[in-house]
Amino acid sequence: MYRLPSAVTTRAATPGGLAWGCGRRTAHYRARLPPLGPGWVGGLGLGLGLALGAKLAGGLRGATPAPSPTAPDPEVSPQVETPPPKEQPLAPWSPQTPTPPTSRLYARAIDSSRDLLHRIKDEVGAPGIVVGVSVDGKEIWSEGLGYADVENRVPCKPETVMRIASISKSLTMVALAKLWEAGKLDLDIPVQHYVPEFPEKEYEGEKVSVTTRLLISHLSGIRHYEKDMKKVKEEKAYKALKIMKEIEADQEKELKEKGGKSNERNDFAKAKIEQDEAKGRNSKPGKKKNDFEQGSQFLYSTFGYTLLAAIVERASGYKFLDYMQKIFHDLDMLTTVQEENEPVIYNRARFYVYNKKRRLVNTPYVDNSYKWAGGGFLSTVGDLLKFGNAMLYGYQVGLFKNSNENLLPGYLKPETMVMIWTPVPNTEMSWDKEGKYAMAWGVVEKKQTYGSCRKQRHYASHTGGAVGASSVLLILPEELDADSLCNKVPPRGIVVSIICNMQSVGLNSTALKIALEFDKERSDIP
């Protein structure tokens, strides 16, 4: 019974199928078997017809295209034909997803930079580190290494939020610059004009003037975290003496080469140092005494930026945080916020330090509300890249105006950015001895002393160090000339941001190496 339909359908599909059936029936009669009854004959015919129809229908379905989704085959149940799996869209780029096309052009720079970061991370024992790089305003690479939360094994990723520490000073500078451009802030009048509650200061028994400009460049004489100013002064005096000895050695060398015998200049310099030291020892402290004379010595001070926050409030008429949030909105820095313990901040990392036994532990609770302006904001590498590119655009847009009149204005005017990135005399850049502090940025100027030797590139950067965190934002502008402006639009250059959930990690030299790697790779691209 089960063989008959399959045999019949197989034969029926061939041209000789009908003859085969007739032959079989004739053979039945030749064998003189009992004749089949009418019911058997009818049933057999019906069975053959159904089997033949099913086979032909199956063949036709196999030969024709699949029915369209708008007209499904009513004879096929939904379980028989399953729709093909839909193609899943890729998540935003991460180390696990395919590299964006632009990033492939910088594959070598990315690989070497990643290797460098792994080495730095291993050397200092940092739990996690996040890096972001943009080239000519486009984010090329962002990646997280290690853990944002060691206890819960949460890996670092580009969206990880960390403390940016003193990079906050560069953000606060934007607020001050906008107010200065609007004519609401004078950088060179005493701060008491805006904050009358701030007491007047004295130095060597004489009243002195603390201005906004001096506060910005850490020349106001207001102290930093170190309360023992004797230590600070001793360190400053040691540095000054060391510099003077170096100058003396150079002068003596020059005199010997020229055959000179006079050491009057050296004697005068020594006398001046001794006189200054005697003044410092014998000076009578005033009622409200500054630690240094304004403008004469560089004393890095985060507390000075707390005073600048009060100046922003009085000059703008808004609360400091409200004014800063407006700036973050304008710059599209949507994940940058002030650090507070209570709010739920998604992707916020935890912060770590090593104890005396060199074991990794969580940092103690800190309240950074007293220094939001100087070191209290949280951000991501992506937001810092946006900020860096906005500054670079404002710095360069003036150069491109003649070749492209359709360019939008920068967030800050070109002349403002030039002022901000101009090194200030008597300042220091602790993270790169080649540079000077400007206005809330450290700046290294272009320099080359000898032919075919080291060439110092112009760049601006700011590092940050906080409880359980280290950071850097570095901007390496492209070296432009009149001929290279054609068919280009700002910003032109490399921006690198690195954040880390471990304190006391020097990151500026690492950021500079990464920037130079990408700059070299860009120059090799046709």
Active-site positions read 166
Scan for tokens 């703008």, then name that residue: 316
User: Which tokens in the block code for residue 356?
Assistant: 């005396």
Measure the CA angle with vertex 27, ends 25 and 28; round to 5°. 65
Beta strand spans in 298-346 (E): 337-338
End-to-end CA, the chain:
77
**Cβ-based neighbours of 80, under 8 Å, separated by 6 or more:** none
Strands 162-163 and 154-155: unpaired
Measure the CA–CA gap between 190 and 172, rounded to whole angstroms.
19
In 60-211, which ranges are E strands?
128-135, 138-149, 154-155, 162-163, 201-203, 206-208
Distances (CA, A) of 77 to 59, 72, 82, 166, 332: 18, 10, 10, 66, 52
Say how many C-beta atoms besides its own lie within 10 A of residue 506's C-beta: 14
| C-alpha to C-alpha distance for 466 and 486, rounded to whole angstroms | 43
- How many C-beta neighbours within 10 Å does residue 467 have? 16
Q: CB of 475 within 8 A of CB of 417?
A: no
| DSSP designation for 484 | G
CA dist 260 and 272 (Å) reads 22
The torsion angles phi and psi of 186, rounded to 5 degrees, stand at -105, 120
Q: Which tokens go with 468?
A: 């359980």
Taking alpha carbons only, the member of 99, 78, 79, 81 closest to residue 90 is: 99
CA distances from 61 to 8, 73, 519 (A): 20, 10, 61
Give the span between the Cα atoms of 374 and 216, in whole angstroms: 10
Q: What is the DSSP letter of 481?
A: -
Residues in the chain: 526
Alpha carbon distance 342, 333 (integer Å): 21
For 494, the enclosing helix (H) or strand (E) is strand 493-500
The stretches of 93-228 forming alpha helices (DSSP H) are: 101-104, 107-124, 167-181, 212-216
